[in-house]
Structure 1
Amino acid sequence: MIPNMEITILSFIFMCLLYHGGCFPTPTYTTKYDNVNLDEILASERLLTGYVNCLLDLGPCTPDGKELKSNLPDAIANDCKNCTDRQREGADKVMHYIIDNRPADWNKLEQKYESDGSYKRQYLESKQINERNAEERDMNSSKINSDKNKE
């Protein structure tokens, strides 16, 4: 018979394995604001400036802005581990837009939340790769069409 202490230790190890093996779902941030229309916010100078100012402590926050502001440091530190797929896609969309269209705002946000600049660097590298791949596809497509026309 196994003594109680060994059973307790084995139970603890088993529970740890279950937890890290995916049997317990990873907690996610609230999904209450997942249906916010990001395209509408990105298209509106006033709305986007309001969110940026909220995140930079330069203006008031809407309820969803407060939620974003409270979760942003953790999401960045943990590579959005607790984000839903929809939140991750939305975060990428917004960050890509700000990097491409409002670089001064991105620089301020980056200084506050991600001072090492790794997200921007990674995004720009992947953007360059995607652009090169698109150019190569276009060139290959043109060559194929040219070869077909010769026949």
Structure 2
Amino acid sequence: MAGKLLFVFIFAVALSGALTAELYTTKYDNIDIEDILNNERLYQKYFDCLRSSGKCTADGQYLKEVLPDALQTECSKCSDKQKHGAEKVLRFMLTKKPEDYQVLENIFDKESIYRKKYEEQKRLATEGKPIEY
């Protein structure tokens, strides 16, 4: 009986580790997105990182690496906090930095695969409505 319980415990730990591995790291979740978006110098550093025209911080590099996957999977590996942050950034870029949004869209969606897929989210963001994932 103890052997079965140990096996179940090990299986549960392994399974929880596998499920956790399916999510993006939450290591950078405490970064103040508002501070970055409202500080032109900080915003520009992240924007330059994403478009490969400047140095990246560790969190900027991570974002750059996971962004294609997040687009492809509709942020299915994002935590709720990450989804909320993505909505803030998307809304900000669409309403205050549409040219920058277009630059990133051209980089991360060269074949317009996601453009149609996210058209509804884009419409909601520009209308000031909540974005649904």
Short-chain TM bin = 0.7 to 0.9
CA distance in 1, matches of 2:45, 2:78: 23
CA distance in 2, matches of 1:45, 1:119: 30
Residue 67 (structure 1) aligns with: 62
State percent identity of aligned pairs: 36
**Alpha-carbon displacement from aligned partner over 1:29-61 (angstroms, at most 9, x marks no partner):** 111000000010010001011101100001000
CA distance in 2, matches of 1:29, 1:118: 24
| 1:112 counterpart = 2:107 | yes
**Which stretches in structure 2 are left out of the alignment for 5+ residues?**
1-14
Residue 36 (structure 1) aligns with: 31
CA distance in 1, matches of 2:80, 2:55: 28
Which of 103, 121, 124 aligns to 2:119? It is 121
Instruction: Report which structure shows greater RCO (CA 8 Å, sep ≥6).
Output: 2
Q: Which amino acid aligns with 1:122?
A: E
* Cα distance, 1:82–1:124 mapped onto 2, change above 3 Å: closer
CA distance in 1, matches of 2:116, 2:35: 27
Q: Which contiguous aligned blocks of 4+ residues in structure 1 show a shift greater than 3 angstroms?
A: 127-130
Which of 22, 25, 28 aligns to 2:19? It is 25
**Which stretches in structure 1 are left out of the alignment for 5+ residues?**
1-18, 131-151
**Contact 1:50 1:59 (8 Å CA) reproduced:** yes
Cα shift at 1:129: 8.6
Q: Secondary structure at the match of 1:25?
A: helix
CA distance in 2, matches of 1:109, 1:124: 14
Which of 82, 87, 90 aligns to 2:85? It is 90
TM-score (ref. length: structure 2): 0.73
Q: Secondary structure at the match of 2:19?
A: coil
Give the aligned length. Answer: 109
**Contact 1:99 1:120 (8 Å CA) reproduced:** no
**Alpha-carbon displacement from aligned partner over 1:73-112 (angstroms, at most 9, x marks no partner):** 0000110111111111101111110111011110000001
Cα shift at 1:123: 2.7
Q: Which amino acid aligns with 1:91?
A: A
CA distance in 2, matches of 1:124, 1:29: 23
Q: Which amino acid aligns with 1:51?
A: Y
Bigger Rg over Cα = 1
CA distance in 1, matches of 2:89, 2:123: 17
